Amino acid sequence: MKVVIQTAIDYEITDMFRGRYDLRRTPAENINLPPALLSRFDLLWLILDKADMDTDLEMARHVVYVHQNRESPALGFTPLDASILRYLIFYFLELGKG
């Protein structure tokens, strides 16, 4: 069922406005699914890809590097440890239960 819901969401988001997310509308309006269905999700995480030639080129170079070298390039920063991320998600989920 989750795959069907995800596919429906993907279709709705990419189909409307020729693939453009309308920042003037709410997420619920942009996703265009019934509130009863949206309420089944604990968390909606929006990732908006804004058109930017420099960022797109940097990302393309990264993807090509990974495919050619079978490893990630040096990040230049220390990534957040997964255990910290899990703790933060748990903390905010508990906080939301209020």
In tens, the pLDDT along 2-14 reads 555 565 555 555 5
Q: Which residues contact 32 (CB under 8 A, 6 or more apart)?
A: 12, 16
Least confident of 23-32, 47-56, 59-68, 88-97: 23-32
Record the pTM: 0.41
* Residue 93 near residue 42, CB atoms below 8 Å: yes
Burial label for 6, CB within 10 Å (0-12, 13-18, 19+), is: exposed
C-alpha distances (whole Å) from 24 to each of 15, 16, 54, 95 are 17, 14, 25, 29
Is 60 exceeded by the pLDDT of residue 43? yes
Residues shown for the chain: 98
